[in-house]
């Protein structure tokens, strides 16, 4: 299938969503896939709201997102976080934020990867225990539209489940994946041919596709954060760089989320 055919299929799916759903929400990280999706939707003059979650990290990491929000006139929905937990894999630690999208347990997984260092800017335990939303406010959208591709591989969770164009859920929002059949090369070609803006400090060009910049200082997916006392794979006691004392690892062997197919979606 050519890129032009994939673009037409994606646009047809977006039109179908607009015709059959009352309140679509675009789940957006302002990464390369999200920007391609936003541009497709914008090309149809649709004014869907954008779901965008911010961690309490330096504002310069969100400069690109803030520029696009202002220049494109996007209306942002800040989804309330109902739970946070630890996810580990491939030697990495992730603080996952969950947003309830209905009564039957379907959640959106919105991960921000964290890095350990001897002089971190953030304490992982403090981030993990930020206030969560305890109200019973219902999710106001009937479908979440994501830039997830079937070819995506998450650094922590591995291969991402994206089996259908639209996943229908009984008592929660449905999920749609207009870019499901796209490859990394397709994203690169679409963005470069259509002059779609992308965060140049987050990605580099290489061999016909984008590659992640090893310098993550401007990448909002990464935090300079100590994860010693929240890493379930560490021992029961760890040395805290903030106090230079041995402290308990409160999450030793606990609070590690096991991803389940069908009810967890990456934004």
- Write the pLDDT tens digit of every residue in 9-34: 999 999 999 999 999 999 999 999 99
All domains in the chain, ordered by first residue: 3-111+134-217+257-266 (3.40.50.620)
Helix 184-193 × helix 3-20 angle, to 10° = 90
pLDDT digits (tens, 9 = 90+) for 80-112: 888 888 887 887 778 888 888 886 655 656 556
pLDDT at residue 189 greater than cutoff 60: yes
Q: Do the Cβ atoms of 213 and 221 come closer than 8 Å?
A: no
| Mean predicted lDDT score pLDDT of the chain | 85
Buried (b) or exposed (e) across 148-180, using 16+ Cβ within 10 A? bbbbbebebbeebbbeebbbebeebbbbbbbbb
Summarize pLDDT for 175-188 with one digit per residue, the tens.
999 999 999 999 99
Q: What are phi and psi of 130, to 5 degrees?
A: -60, 155
Higher per-residue confidence, 205 vs 71: 71
Enumerate the β-bridge partners of residue 232: none
């Amino acid at each position: 299938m050519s890129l032009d055919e994939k673009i037409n299929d994606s646009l047809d799916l977006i039109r179908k969503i607009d015709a059959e759903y009352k309140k679509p929400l675009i789940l957006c990280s302002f990464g390369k896939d999200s920007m391609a999706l936003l541009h497709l939707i914008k090309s149809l003059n649709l004014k869907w709201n954008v779901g965008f979650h911010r961690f309490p990290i330096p504002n310069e990491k969100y400069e690109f997102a803030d520029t696009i929000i202002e220049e494109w006139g996007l209306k942002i929905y800040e989804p309330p976080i109902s739970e946070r937990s630890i996810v580990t894999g491939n030697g990495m630690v992730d603080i996952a934020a969950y947003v309830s999208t209905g009564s039957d347990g379907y959640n959106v997984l919105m991960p921000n990867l964290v890095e350990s260092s001897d002089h971190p800017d953030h304490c992982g335990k403090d981030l993990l225990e930020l206030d969560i939303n305890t109200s019973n406010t219902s999710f106001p959208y009937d479908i979440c539209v994501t830039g997830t591709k079937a070819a995506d591989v998450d650094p922590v969770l591995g291969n991402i489940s994206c089996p259908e164009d639209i996943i229908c859920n009984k008592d929660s929002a449905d999920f749609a994946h207009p870019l499901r059949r796209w490859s990394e090369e397709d994203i690169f070609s679409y963005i470069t041919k259509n002059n779609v803006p992308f965060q140049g400090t987050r990605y580099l060009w290489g061999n016909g596709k984008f590659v992640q910049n090893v310098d993550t200082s401007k990448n909002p997916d990464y935090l300079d954060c100590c994860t010693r006392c929240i890493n379930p794979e560490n021992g029961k006691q760890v040395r805290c760089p903030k106090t230079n004392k041995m402290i308990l690892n409160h999450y030793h062997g606990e609070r590690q989320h096991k991803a389940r197919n069908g009810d967890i979606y990456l934004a």
